[in-house]
């Protein structure tokens, strides 16, 4: 029994040591710019690319928590802004975990899942019926909502500091309007600049 416990202990210490050697924390600032459109997930890519330009921008901070020669796991926090013409302006605050696979020194592909908070500001005014049967404007500072996303993309590294990415993200805004559109899917095509810290 003593030999079993000693062997287990040494195996555990060796495994943790090997994993610690493969963890080289890297940090990056990410600036992304793109276009957004209300569309079905992934099937709406052509619509997002050919429809009216709706700006989407975000700033993010990412760090790796696991890395080896070919694989990375990273976590990103970001804040953004987009304007859905005639409908709303939204500030998303999201967190995303992603897996990245390297193909050689410069190219990589990534996939991620994220969740977060969306604060929406409707373009149209809101009105409520008062006691006299008249509609009065209601001052509001927007609506708090939940967001979830799936991201797919690729990245090209110029060197150890700078890289460019191209990605497609499906963002689900919920609840959009409880009575008739509880879930509003968006498609986002983005270019990103990554600066390693």
Q: What is the pLDDT of residue 134?
A: 84
Question: If you count DSSP H runs as helices and E runs as strands, how many of each does the chain have, helices first?
Answer: 2, 10
| Backbone CA torsion sign across 139, 145, 151, 157 | positive
Domains in the chain: boundaries: 24-196
Residue 176 to residue 185: CA distance in whole angstroms = 10
Q: What is the pLDDT of residue 165?
A: 95
Residue pair 96/111 in contact (Cβ under 8 Å)? The answer is no
Q: Please, what CATH class does the domain formed by 24-196 belong to?
A: mainly beta
pLDDT at 7: 55
What is the model's pTM? 0.76
Percent above pLDDT 70 for the chain: 83
Percent of the chain with pLDDT over 90: 42
């Amino acid at each position: 029994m003593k030999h079993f416990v000693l062997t287990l202990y040494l195996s555990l210490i060796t495994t943790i040591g090997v994993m610690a050697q493969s963890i080289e924390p890297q940090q990056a600032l990410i600036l992304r710019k793109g276009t957004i459109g209300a569309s079905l997930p992934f099937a709406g890519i052509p619509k997002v690319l050919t429809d009216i330009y709706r700006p989407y921008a975000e700033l993010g901070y990412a760090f790796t928590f696991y890395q080896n020669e070919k694989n990375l796991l990273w976590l990103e926090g970001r804040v953004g802004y987009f304007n859905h013409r005639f409908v709303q302006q939204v500030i998303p605050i999201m967190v995303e975990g992603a897996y990245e696979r390297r193909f050689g020194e410069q190219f990589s592909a990534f996939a991620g899942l994220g969740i977060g908070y969306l604060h929406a500001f409707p373009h149209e005014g809101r009105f409520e019926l008062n006691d006299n049967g008249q509609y009065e404007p209601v001052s509001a500072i927007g609506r708090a909502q939940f967001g979830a996303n799936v991201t797919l993309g690729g990245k090209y590294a110029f060197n150890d500091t700078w890289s460019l990415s191209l990605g497609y993200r499906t963002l689900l805004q919920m609840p959009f309007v409880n009575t008739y559109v509880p879930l509003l899917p968006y498609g986002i095509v983005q270019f990103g600049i990554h600066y390693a810290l």
